[in-house]
Structure 1
Amino acid sequence: MAVTLYNLKSESGLKKLDEYLLTRSYISGYQASKDDITVYSALSSVPSDEFVNVSRWYKHIDALLRISGVSGEGSGVTVESSSLVAEEAVATPPAADSKATEAEDDDDDDDVDLFGEETEEEKKAAEDRAAAMKASGKKKESGKSSVLMDVKPWDDETDMKKLEEAVRSVEMEGLFWGASKLVPVGYGIKKLQIMLSIVDDLVSVDTLIEERLTVEPINEYVQSCDIVAFNKI
């Protein structure tokens, strides 16, 4: 599903993007992708807190970029400078920008393809690093995962603000909390849907839930936790 967003440097464009992100954690899918980087790069400055959803999304993507928590996947997103409507449609991938095409054809060593295939030089450098680490007895760098979790309260009288504060108070080496939103369940009850990134060798999601999120004092607010999506980064 291709996504087209318009005129993100205007207040009207940001308002449309804010509405689009009201029910989404990312531009497409359940994990950060190059679609998020495309929109992130199209914004001329940090969004005002007036646009709550855009601001929340921007800060989360900015944090993920700092820890390389963005995948190279995506469904294809186009940012236009005219019109003021955000729309979704099944379509072919957007035509490549002429400047981008020229950059791809340019062999300048200063150009960096963040999502391209490894060159022979990069492969050799990676092999040399692996050999050096093996020789020094160091462990291979651990992988990371992106997790989407549902956190359910006891009833409609549970203070959801305090519930989220309790969840985010859990700190573990290799655990990074991300964007969140409240999702209606029924009968006036809402659940907290929250993103987190983990370093696989340091954090077990099962241990996080069973030993940190559903025990005292957090279980005063949290009834249960469910994993909605789990993706390797």
Structure 2
Amino acid sequence: MAVAFFSVNSESGLKKLDECLLTRSYITGYQASKDDITVHAALSKPPPPEYVNVARWYNHIEALLRISGVSGEGCGVTIEGSAPAEAVATPPAADTKTSAAEDDDDDDVDLFGEETEEEKKAAEERAAAVKASGKKKESGKSSVLMDVKPWDDETDMKKLEEAVRSVKLDGLLWGASKLAPVGYGIKKLQIMLTIVDDLVSVDNLIEDYLTAEPVNEYVQSCDIVAFNKI
């Protein structure tokens, strides 16, 4: 079902958009889509910080556009005085192969959800192809989506994120993040990062820095949710 917004650059329009994003991460559905690109393009400038939910969403979409692009089709969105959704250009994503079953199943296309069997298979095929060719791009980059889990519900998640971002390495760039519920009052940090393949290994980043002192005071474990070559 198409969604309509009224003049998102006005105070009333921004307020409505902020209320809409209070309980959701994206304009429609469970992954970034052309609907998010349409609304993002309709904004004449970054939203004021007092519109907390809009600002959080805007920064997240900005990060996705820089790192991996947005490939979801969305449900359709219209904005008074803006171009139709199909007229908005969308940067290509790292991997746009999805099956019809994935399009119909929201759980499979959740950006911050569990990696699907299809995604795992695709990642294995890409790794096998690189190994078989024996070639490696110079200074290649990868975008990574990671789950960072605290020790318990008493862990200060703000300090946890500060500890994670305090890890600074050549070839490592931290991106957008958000907190997501795990259960029993516990939340996890979901964070995006970009690495230069020749300089940073994600496995070493986790083992030597994110789960080692002093960061492990807050971090119990880290899981790679998605890994895409740029």
- Superposition TM-score, scaled by structure 2 size: 0.63
Displacement after TM superposition at 1:11 (Å): 3.4
Q: CA deviation at 1:58?
A: 2.5
Q: Give distance in 2, aligned partners of 1:142 and 1:34.
A: 30
Q: Do 1:33 and 1:71's aligned partners in 2 also have CA atoms closer than 8 Å?
A: no
Contact 2:138 2:198 in 1 (8 A): no
Aligned to 1:71: 69
Cross-structure match for 1:123: none
Alpha-carbon distance change, 196 to 21 in structure 1, aligned in 2, over 3 angstroms: farther
In the alignment, is residue 189 of structure 1 matched against residue 178 of structure 2? no
Cα offset, 1:213, TM superposition: 0.3
C-alpha spacing 1:207/1:15, structure 2 compared with 1 (3 Å):
farther
- The one-character-per-residue Cα deviations of 1:134-188 (angstroms, maximum 9, x if unpaired) are xxxxx95533332221111111111111111001111122222122222222222
Once the two structures are TM-superposed, the CA of residue 208 in structure 1 deviates from its matched residue by 1.1
Cα RMSD (Å): 3.4
1:210–1:45 Cα change, 3 Å? same
1:190 Cα deviation after fit: 1.5
Aligned to 1:24: 25
In structure 2, C-alpha distance between the alignment counterparts of 1:71 and 1:33, rounded to whole Å: 10
Inter-partner Cα distance in structure 2 for 1:72 and 1:45: 20
- Change over 3 Å in CA distance of 1:113–1:71 after alignment to 2: closer
**Deviations 1:5-33 (CA, angstroms, capped at 9, x unpaired):** 52322334434443437542797766x77
Letter in 2 for 1:69: I
CA distance in 2, matches of 1:148, 1:57: 17
* Map of 1:45 onto structure 2: 45
Distance 1:221 1:167 in 2: 9
1:146·1:230 contact (CA, 8 Å) conserved in 2?
yes
Measured after TM superposition, the shift of residue 205 of structure 1 is 1.4
> Secondary structure of 2:67's match?
coil
Compared CA separation, residues 58 and 10, structure 1 to 2 (3 A): same
8 Å contact from structure 1 (residues 146, 197) kept in 2: yes
Partner secondary structure for residue 208 of structure 1: helix
Tell me: CA distance 1:169–1:59, structure 2 relative to 1, closer, same or farther (3 Å): same
Higher gyration radius (CA) = 1
CA contact (8 A) 2:180 2:188 kept: yes
Q: Deviations over 1:187-211 (max 9, x none)?
A: 2221112222223332221111111
Unaligned runs of 5+ in 1: 83-93, 101-111, 116-138
Out of 198-207 and 216-225, give the one that drifted further: 198-207
Q: Distance in 2 between matches of 1:56 and 1:163?
A: 19
- Aligned pairs for 1:42-191 (under 5 A) are 42-62=42-62, 68-71=66-69, 73-76=71-74, 78-81=77-80, 96-97=86-87, 140-191=137-188
Q: Partner of 2:176: helix, strand, or coil? A: strand
- Conservation of the 8 A alpha-carbon contact between 2:143 and 2:192: yes
Q: Structure 2: which 5+ residue stretches go unaligned?
A: 93-135
CA contact (8 A) 2:139 2:198 kept: yes
Please tell me whether the aligned partners of residues 150 and 194 of structure 1 are also in contact (alpha carbons under 8 angstroms): yes
Letter aligned with residue 226 of structure 2: A
Task: Tell me, yes or no, if structure 1 residue 225 matches structure 2 residue 222.
Answer: yes
Deviation at 1:218, TM superposition (A): 0.4
User: C-alpha distance in 1, partners of 2:206/2:26?
Assistant: 21
